[in-house]
Amino acid sequence: MDGELFVIIYLLGARKGKFDSNGKAVAIPGSNIPLSAAGVLILWLGWFGFTVAQYYLLIQLILH
């Protein structure tokens, strides 16, 4: 299976825009910090809500 993956990776090649016309590597721009922060906030709020609901249901099961 490993050999097949290497062949597929070789056939796919580098990303478009990775090299210029002379074959020199082009730097890939960094990520968008505000968008990354918004994603972290959304994940954190989802995790927080899930955890609170999980404990709430656990307490309901124990008390009844």
Domain assignment of residue 60, yes or no: yes
The count of domains in the chain is 1
Domain assignment of residue 37, yes or no: yes
Domain assignment of residue 48, yes or no: yes
Residue 58 is part of which domain span? 32-64
CA angle 2, 19, 22 (to 5 degrees): 130
Domain assignment of residue 22, yes or no: no
8 Å CB contact between 18 and 28:
yes
Given the structure tokens 């918004």, which residue do they identify? 38
At 11 the pLDDT is 93
DSSP characters for 7-21? Answer: HHHHHH-SPTTSB-T
At 1 the pLDDT is 66
Domain assignment of residue 1, yes or no: no
Domain assignment of residue 13, yes or no: no
Domain assignment of residue 52, yes or no: yes
Give the residue with greater pLDDT, 41 vs 2: 41
At 8 the pLDDT is 92
Domain assignment of residue 39, yes or no: yes
pLDDT digits (tens, 9 = 90+) for 10-63: 999 888 888 888 989 988 888 899 999 999 999 999 999 999 999 999 999 998
